[in-house]
Amino acid sequence: MIVKNKAENVAAESTETADMERDIVNRRLFDAPRDRVFRAFSDPGLLATWWGPNGFTNTIHEFDLRPAGKWRLTMHGPNGADYENESVFRQVAPPERIVFTHLEPVHRFDMTMDFGESNGQTTLTWRMRFDSVEECAKVRPFIEAANEQTFDRLAECLRKMV
């Protein structure tokens, strides 16, 4: 039996709270089997059609879905601006989980994508963990809404997939 004193419990709770304050979590239930949802991400041709918030298009330059593999893309914004992105995959466990570190530009974060299946439907959970509470707080209003728009676009892609 492990007994923690009150100070240890407070420290553990403080760490957990700080971690939660560095996280942005979006979750959506999709009416599609997990393999299909996973394929929508793992196939760069499909991914390019739905990744990003409304109005964005993508050019994928490199997509090596394996641990240490790179993902480089240009997101083309509706305002005409181009946003270069580079990530490195850390974990790939088809069709259950993908973890990558987003390196550039602007903000760095770790993304964990969990694909849960139940009765032919898929719950997709995205957890973005930023390096600091301050960075997370700065981008949270935009990112939470952008992720929901991205989920909307993914739902449309899944409806069109065979």
Mean pLDDT is lowest, of 29-38, 53-62, 102-111, 153-162, for 102-111
Is CATH 1.10.3720.10 the classification given to domain 21-160?
no
Q: Is the pTM of this model over 0.85?
A: yes
For residue 19, the model assigns a pLDDT of 77
For residue 1, the model assigns a pLDDT of 42
Give backbone dihedrals phi and psi of 76, rounded to 5 degrees, phi first.
-100, 115
**Chain CA centroid to CA 11, Å:** 29
| Token pair for 41 | 């991400």
- Inform me whether the pLDDT recorded for 83 exceeds 90: yes
Q: Return the percentage of the chain with pLDDT > 90, whole number.
A: 85
Alpha helices by DSSP H, listed for the chain, are 6-21, 34-42, 44-50, 133-160
Q: How confident is the model at residue 162 (pLDDT cuts 50, 70, 90)?
A: confident
- Inform me whether the pLDDT recorded for 61 exceeds 90: yes
Q: Where are the domains of the chain?
A: 21-160
Residues with Cβ within 8 Å of 53's Cβ and at least 6 positions away in sequence, in order, are 145, 146, 149, 150
